[in-house]
Chains A and B, each alone.
Chain A
């Protein structure tokens, strides 16, 4: 098998498990919706604050939900010695990394579609300039998925994995929060030229952590 066949095998396995357990649909998406609605309760929609801060609230919610997705992705490897099975499988580290990151990215994209629709409906914002908004979302999602997969395997063998992953991950993905929020603000304001530098930053971040993850995942899995 070549690299992409191995990536598809691993991503397919994770997505099949997700499809059957429905953790994303029944827990992570509702969690994201609840967080968005709580923000709406806290920041009175009538005062116009929600419209101004909607991009930031959207991405904070995505990052919080991403923590759950990352934890879930490595929780399935903790049962029945599956992590040892993965090590013994013969699959290469880069393929394992890309496969698991791709599965997380697909789940996050599904979540983001639902949350974006909620933001439009509940917060009353208008998405005027779609291209930078979509590209920023894609790049940010890849960046979060790659970083989450890298830090997920780093914490995989630790008993306090669930609490360690947020502490490790959130500071690292702060540039994603900043870049994606700024890009969304520019897109919503209809000024795409202001969005492109942030889209570029997000793309660089995604490429950087994808490269690091491909190199580091295998050795980290061996030591976990």
Chain B
């Protein structure tokens, strides 16, 4: 399987604080990797590093064949991050936000309309972002990511704030990722639920994570 993510001793500083203090991580096409760890362990920073939003201080991090040490932007068109915020505009409708994201990533607006339907947002298509509920915003954030048809999907606590139906939609997106040749890295505290979806689990402890074997189909392995 071709490598989508490869990190070796990756260090990332937030100010002077080493938010990542040596991360080893591999992820191949179609893998669903669960990132776990206590609050402040570095899960969000790792996802933001892989998205190119924070700089690599030392070590190695390669995403979709782009070395983040020299090119943080190269992989962005082929990845999507669902973070704590929606990355959307309050005064644009759901459909407009989705189409903007799709077109910016050089995708067809058909992808945006498909994402709208897949996340169950058809009824809210013409509602502006500021009028959405928290749960609807979380769905929209996932839909925005999907509208970019990413090869790498980075999910940071994606289940937070979602109702049962929203969780079903999200689980469908994650579980079908391998068949769509999409790699998923998912950071979550909802371990039981997320472990059912993941093909592998990596534990971050104080900004560190180490390589471990791929366990299938029961993936409840923790990095040493």
Q: Which A residues form the contact surface with B (CB < 8 A)?
A: 1, 6, 9, 13, 16-17, 20-21, 76, 79-82, 84-85, 87-91, 222
Contacts and interface: CB of A to CB of B under 8 A. Distances in A.
Nearest to A77: B89
A81 B86 contact: yes
A16 to B, nearest CB: 7
Contacts, number: 73
A26 to B, nearest CB: 13
Contact of B91 (A6, A21, A85, A90): A21
A13 B91 CA distance: 10
Contacts of B160: none
B87 A81 contact: yes
A30 to B, nearest CB: 19
B85 A9 contact: no
* Interface of chain B, main secondary structure: loop
Nearest to A17: B91
A88 B89 contact: no
Nearest to B80: A88
B85 A81 contact: yes
B49 to A, nearest CB: 13
Interface of B: 51-53, 72-73, 76-77, 79-81, 83-92, 96, 100-101, 103-106, 128-129, 144, 148
Q: Which of A6, A90, A222 has the most CB of B within 10 A?
A: A90
A81 B83 contact: yes
Contacts of A87: 52-53, 76
A17 to B, nearest CB: 4
Given A20-B128, A90-B106, A222-B72, A13 B83 contact: no
29 contacts: A9-B100, A13-B89, A13-B92, A16-B92, A16-B96, A20-B91, A20-B128, A76-B89, A76-B91, A79-B90, A80-B85, A80-B86, A80-B87, A80-B129, A81-B85, A81-B86, A82-B87, A84-B85, A85-B144, A87-B53, A87-B76, A88-B80, A89-B101, A89-B105, A90-B73, A90-B76, A90-B77, A90-B106, A222-B73
A80 B51 CA distance: 17
A9 B109 CA distance: 13
B162 to A, nearest CB: 17
